[in-house]
Amino acid sequence: MTTIEPESPALVSRNLAAGVRLWAGATTFFFFCPFFAYFYLRSLDSAGLWRPAGVDPPQGSGAAVMVVVVLSSVVLLLAARPEWESAWRLLVALSLVLGLAAVVLQCVAYARLGFGPTDGGYASVFAAWTGLNALFGLGTMIWLETLLAYGLRTRDSLPLVRPRLGALAFYWTYLAGLGVVMWVVLYLT
């Protein structure tokens, strides 16, 4: 069963574009907290406990998570482009698998982590950022899955899916960009 949009496709597209940009702005404030805490706690370095011995993030798994997230966002961007419209379902499914793999990799990294959020300022910022990254990634993958399910259920759904897919691709790429910035801050500085 399909529903006809009461608004014109151009209006739906503009509304989705505005809404997803507002949501991206709100997301920035969620990630700003650990970003600010990183620089604030690092500058204070109370009693030399910013990053005590043994608090070292797993470089390999951190890089793997970021690579998979970036790949997933690039694949989703391709799916949203008109020249890939014949393969959009396949590309969305691939992006979904990659995004879920990133969440699973983050959970595996937590299981093998040798420190917890109470082991200094760095550890608490690391736990907050990676936790938010996994949580927002999972939420975005749920959004992506519902869009894919709608597209698979409806035969000629591309005109209805295209603006939603564009909005989702924008948000997932934005989230991947935030993740890369924080990954550089946490792992490379």
Query: 87-128, pLDDT tens digit by residue?
Result: 899 999 999 999 999 999 999 998 888 898 989 899 999 999
* Residues whose CB falls within 8 Å of the CB of residue 47, separated by 6 or more in sequence, listed in order: none
Instruction: Report how far apart the first and last C-alpha atoms of the chain are (Å, whole number).
Output: 53
Domain boundaries along the sequence of the chain: 10-38+58-188
Whether the per-residue pLDDT at 4 is higher than 70: the answer is no
pTM above 0.95, yes or no: no
Q: Give 134-148 pLDDT, tens digit per residue.
A: 999 999 999 999 999
Residue of 69, 24, 135 whose CA lies nearest to 127: 135
Question: pLDDT by residue (tens digit) across 7-49?
Answer: 777 888 899 999 999 999 999 999 999 999 999 988 988 787 8
Banded pLDDT at 2 (limits 50, 70, 90): low
Q: Which CATH number fits domain 10-38+58-188: 1.10.3720.10, 1.20.120.80, 1.10.150.120, 1.10.1040.10?
A: 1.20.120.80
